[in-house]
Amino acid sequence: MRPLRAWSLESQQQTITVPPEVAAKTRQKHDYPSKEHRISYARRTGSERTFSTIKDPATTSIARGWCRLTGLTPLALWLACLLAVRNQRILAAYAARQADTARRAAAGLPPRTASGAAKPSPASPPARHNSRRLPA
């Protein structure tokens, strides 16, 4: 059995600089806060949103057993139909939002904002905090 060796933090921690040629294939194409990076990342988020909606079992699902066809050509055809249906559903929702915005504008109301955290209604009572003090 070898004796335990004492380690010193000074001898273990080092800073290295990696030149750009190392791992050039897996490197990001654009610098992080640049406009080109945002455009490239927007493509990625759009494709991931597409895949997540076609995998969502609430609307459509491509889980195992989603169709009984086998082979690349029939599955590719069904997947193309699935994407077309998804796009039609998104276009219908967009048209409904535009019609609602136009209706609200005609009534003198502001357009709906994106749904984020729930905002309390002016008619609702104020939030109650548990401010009861425990006996000392």
Higher-pLDDT residue of 46 and 23 is: 46
d(CA 52, CA 58): 11
Q: What are the tokens at 126? A: 């104020």
Cα–Cα distance for residue pair 71/69, rounded to 1 Å:
7
Q: How far, in Å, CA of 112 to CA of 105, rounded? A: 10
Does the pTM surpass 0.95? The reply is no
- CA–CA separation, 124 vs 126, rounded Å? 6
Q: Is the model's pLDDT at 111 over the cut of 80?
A: yes
The 8 Å CB, 24+ separation contacts for 39-42 are none
33-73 pLDDT, tens digit per residue, is 788 888 888 888 888 888 888 888 887 777 777 778 888 99
